[in-house]
Amino acid sequence: MKQITLLFFFCISVFSQKNTETFDSYKLGEKREISIALPASYNQNQTKKYPLLFLLDGEYLFDPFNGALTYGAYWDDLPEMIIVSVNQNKNGERYSDSSFDTATGLPVKKGAMFFEFVAGELIPYIEKKYRVAPFRIIAGHDTTAGFLNFFLYKDVPLFNAFISLSPELATQMETRIPEKLANLKQPVFYYLSSGDSDIPQLLEPIKNLDGNIKAVENPYLNFKYDSFKDATHYSLVLFSIPSALYQIFGTYKPISSTEYSDKIVVLQSGYADYLINRYDDLFKKTGLRIPVRINDFKAIEAAILKNNAFNDFDKLAEIANKYYPKSMLGDYYLGLMYEKNGDAKRAMKKFQSASQAEEIGGLTKDMMYEKYDEMKSLTQKK
């Protein structure tokens, strides 16, 4: 039976809560130390679920990952996550935990037990205890970066994203990993990295793996390989972490000025559809369903105005009413549509209705009163 003993190591920062626990594992027949960090908003929103980031080599990977996520979440470029790490450096556990049969290239002895510990005990425990979204990421470095690929071997991979930092690849991994990725039936992100000054005996297998994965044609695969100039086996970790996280959550970040100019304003039509599809794509790839950001509404609004596609405000109003039903946003967009189409009377009514709703994103009641008066003056002239 497993028993959880809370060690009195608890720290609170502005962004996350971290605690270290001792997990009594039946699969391993021993106790293991794990660290858990919960997002700052975890106790504020009792229904919100968070992606799970699972770290091997927790002693030294926890802080750089937590730092990158804290920074990204501050700017709303990355989602908040629940971070769970296994501490493995004590008595060389990372090597025994990652042991495999050199003939078969599969986990053996302690490696097989550690695999079952993660898949059969630790992940279920975390998901039962915390509000975890259906999106899991695993990351490791060299020895553990090779081992994490065993979770990809399952018919249905245990994780949705794999971050392999300068991996020490097991037997046949250079061909087995691409074969598994070629047969994916669900979206998977796979990130691989090395450095120019990496350990020489690791580089050739990594480059072979990169070439083999790039030959895979599967729409469910999202793959990225980074080879960092002048990076050593250890410094490449700091370069890799943000690159990997932004690869995985590329569809999460708000609409940027580059995306606006290169992808949105150049559209011939379908500006509101672009917004819907963007958030649907995030959900399909990561399982995250988040409210449409107000600044993203503003980007689409600007594109509609620039291209005189005023009827698109009708659909934009529908989106606004779905996510912000008590706000003035929906009526404001309908008012804009009628105004730009020359129907001052109907525009006046919508701005009047908006003035009675909640203010949002820089829109105020005074602004709605001004728009109302402007439209009213136009109807009186007629």
pLDDT computed for residue 7 by the predictor: 35
Q: Which of 221, 248, 275 is the last residue of a domain?
A: 248
Q: What is the secondary structure of 316-346 as a DSSP string?
A: HHHHHHHH-TTBSHHHHHHHHHHHHTT-HHH
Q: Which domain holds residue 373?
A: 257-381
Q: Tens digits of per-residue pLDDT, 74-92?
A: 999 999 999 999 998 766 7
Residue 215 sits in a domain of what CATH number?
A: 3.40.50.1820
Same domain, 213 and 262: no
Same domain, 21 and 146: yes
pLDDT computed for residue 92 by the predictor: 76
pLDDT computed for residue 8 by the predictor: 32
Same domain, 244 and 128: yes
pLDDT computed for residue 46 by the predictor: 87
Q: Which of 201, 230, 248 is the last residue of a domain?
A: 248
Same domain, 265 and 148: no
Taking 70 as the pLDDT cut, the residues of the chain under it are: 1-17, 90-91, 381-382
**Rounded to whole angstroms, how far apart are CA atoms 191 and 233?**
16
Same domain, 11 and 112: yes
Residue 347 sits in a domain of what CATH number?
A: 1.25.40.10
Q: How far is CA 328 from CA 220, 285, 325, 332, 353, in A?
A: 39, 31, 8, 6, 8
Same domain, 282 and 243: no
Query: Per-residue b/e over 163-177, b at no fewer than 16 CB within 10 Å?
Result: bbbbbbbbeebbebb
Same domain, 126 and 208: yes
pTM for the whole thing? Answer: 0.88
Q: 122: burial class by Cβ within 10 Å (0-12, 13-18, 19+)?
A: buried
**Rounded to whole angstroms, how far apart are CA atoms 258 and 110?**
49
pLDDT computed for residue 298 by the predictor: 97
Q: Which of 216, 248, 280 is the last residue of a domain?
A: 248
pLDDT computed for residue 12 by the predictor: 36
Same domain, 276 and 237: no
Question: Any bridge partners for residue 30, and if so which?
Answer: 25
Same domain, 15 and 158: yes
The amino acid at 329: L
Same domain, 94 and 145: yes
Same domain, 41 and 154: yes
Same domain, 79 and 193: yes
Structural domain total, the chain:
2
Determine the 3-state secondary structure of 199 from DSSP: coil
Q: Tens digits of per-residue pLDDT, 188-224?
A: 999 999 999 999 999 999 999 999 999 999 999 999 9
